[in-house]
Amino acid sequence: TVETNIENDYVRVKEQEKLRDEFIAMVEQIKNTIVDLYNKSIQCIANINLEANDKPQTPKGNNEITTK
Query: pLDDT value at position 31?
Result: 98
- Asked if pLDDT for residue 65 goes beyond 60, the answer is no
Q: Is the dihedral of CA 54, 59, 63, 66 positive or negative?
A: negative
Going by the DSSP 8-state scheme, the letter that residue 64 receives in this structure is -
- Asked if pLDDT for residue 55 goes beyond 60, the answer is yes
Angle at 54 between CA 52 and CA 58, to 5 degrees: 75
27 alpha-carbon distance from chain centroid: 12
Over residues 6-32, mean pLDDT = 98
Q: What does the DSSP assignment read for 15-63?
A: HHHHHHHHHHHHHHHHHHHHHHHHHHHHHHHHHHHHHHHHSPPPPPS--
Where residue 58 falls among pLDDT bands split at 50, 70, 90? Answer: low
